[in-house]
Structure 1
Amino acid sequence: MTITDVVQFQIGDTLYALDIHLAREIVEMMPITPVPRAPDYIAGIINLRGEITNILNLNTLLGLENELSRGEKKIIVLVPDAAGGSNVGIIVDNVHSVLQVSEDRIEKIDNSISSEAYVRGVIKTGNASDNDENLVIWIDIAKILEDTLVEQ
């Protein structure tokens, strides 16, 4: 059985995940410098240890409401390969953990929904028999970035 490693994070009250091999590091929120006339999904840029890194607002990219700030947010910095060689980070409300997920805990979504939704599947965590099961939306961040960067 195949095991997949994902980073589990939160936006609003919803849990999401992305492939661990696409995440380079997780950093605390820091001051973001706005970029004039940038698309609304670009929060701005940061200087991360001497590298200029574009910071994207994942809420906007996913078409979610931008909620008022909920405490301290985090930035998931992606590997350059995920964004066509660019240094990119995404803003999330919180990062929970790295999950090791077996194939049988992933529910594939049919293409009628996910072709536009950027969803790779839904991960079931916890225990269904104890009514303690959580659903984690596994997003295809590489496809989101590919589509977004191609549009520009």
Structure 2
Amino acid sequence: MVVDILEFELGGELYAMDIGIAREIVEMLPITPIPRAPSHVTGLLNLRGEITTIINLHYLLGITPAKQREEQKIMVLIPDAFENTSVGVIVDEVHSVLTIDENSIDTNIKGVDEHLTDYIQGIIKLDEEEGIRAESSSEEHESQKRLIIWVDVKKILTGTTEASSSLHE
């Protein structure tokens, strides 16, 4: 079985999310800050007449951005991805859509803080020269594979609202 993912970059590292929740990718646009909003909420964006809340994934995941704001991208999610509202997430770069064989995904994640494993769906191992998996049993070949952290963006966003609401209670 295969999985379609959207590969993106945060702080110089590769990440992926389920392509099914991505609506579009846009260049950085002017964002209106929201007073007293949580630090991960960058502000609001008027995207072709639709008000879109912009969330900074760097803040949510504790990652230092690798690019200046004007060079970053916004991944706009489908409304079903987060409380039936228009939401976009800021990332450093968006690379491509990849079709990944499930055999290339390691879901046995060890050595990571337990609360982070809730947000990680798996680690994807890809050959450098290919976007699509290749099978090999050699250890040397395994060490040449690049790793992509497959995150569950829906869970990350849902976790932020739960944390915010518990702070306000």
Tell me the TM-score normalised to structure 2 length: 0.82
Alignment correspondent of 1:143: 155
Alignment correspondent of 2:98: 99
Describe the shift of the 1:109–1:131 C-alpha distance in structure 2 as closer, same or farther (beyond 3 A): closer
Matches of 1:68 and 1:34 in 2, distance apart?
20
Matches of 2:124 and 2:142 in 1, distance apart?
17
Alignment correspondent of 2:42: 43
RMSD: 2.0
Matches of 1:114 and 1:143 in 2, distance apart?
16
Conserved in 1, the CA contact under 8 Å of 2:28 and 2:69? no
How many residues in Structure 1 have an aligned counterpart in Structure 2? Answer: 151
State the secondary structure of the residue aligned to 2:3: strand
Of 22-31 and 130-139, the range deviating more from structure 2: 130-139
Alignment correspondent of 2:24: 25
| Unaligned residue ranges in structure 2 (runs of 5+) | 129-139, 165-169
Percent identity, aligned pairs only? 46
Matches of 2:161 and 2:151 in 1, distance apart?
17
Describe the shift of the 1:146–1:130 C-alpha distance in structure 2 as closer, same or farther (beyond 3 A): closer
- Alignment of 1:119 onto 2:131: no
- AA aligned to 1:138 is W
Tell me the TM-score normalised to structure 1 length: 0.90
Matches of 1:80 and 1:116 in 2, distance apart?
25
Conserved in 2, the CA contact under 8 Å of 1:109 and 1:120? no
Matches of 2:21 and 2:35 in 1, distance apart?
28
Describe the shift of the 1:111–1:87 C-alpha distance in structure 2 as closer, same or farther (beyond 3 A): farther
| Unaligned residue ranges in structure 1 (runs of 5+) | none
- Alignment of 1:61 onto 2:60: yes
Matches of 2:87 and 2:155 in 1, distance apart?
14
Describe the shift of the 1:9–1:87 C-alpha distance in structure 2 as closer, same or farther (beyond 3 A): same
Distance apart, 1:77 and its partner CA: 0.3
Give 1 or 2 for the bigger CA radius of gyration. 2
